[in-house]
Amino acid sequence: MPEESERPEPEGGDPACWLDQVCPACGRLTERTAEGRCAACGEPWD
């Protein structure tokens, strides 16, 4: 059995495909509204 320090670190984190759902204005993970605005802060989303 490998020692504790030899075990690989578990991989984690969010998938990169969610990057297009991060608002450039507020940084929240959110969806765009039909008007092209951030659902969290209301800023226009390019």
Query: What is the chain's pLDDT, residue by residue, as a tens digit (46 residues)?
Result: 556 667 787 777 766 788 888 999 999 998 888 899 999 999 998 7
Question: Could you give the CA distance from residue 37 to residue 46 in angstroms, rounded to a whole number?
Answer: 9
What was the pLDDT predicted at 21?
87
Question: 């507020």: which residue's tokens?
Answer: 26
What was the pLDDT predicted at 17?
83
Per-residue b/e over 7-39, b at no fewer than 16 CB within 10 Å?
Answer: eeeeeeeeeeeeeeeebeeeeeebeeeeeebbe
Question: Could you give the CA distance from residue 16 to residue 22 in angstroms, rounded to a whole number?
Answer: 11
What was the pLDDT predicted at 4?
60
Question: Could you give the CA distance from residue 45 to residue 19 in angstroms, rounded to a whole number?
Answer: 13
Q: Against a cut of 0.85, is the pTM above it?
A: no
What was the pLDDT predicted at 2?
54
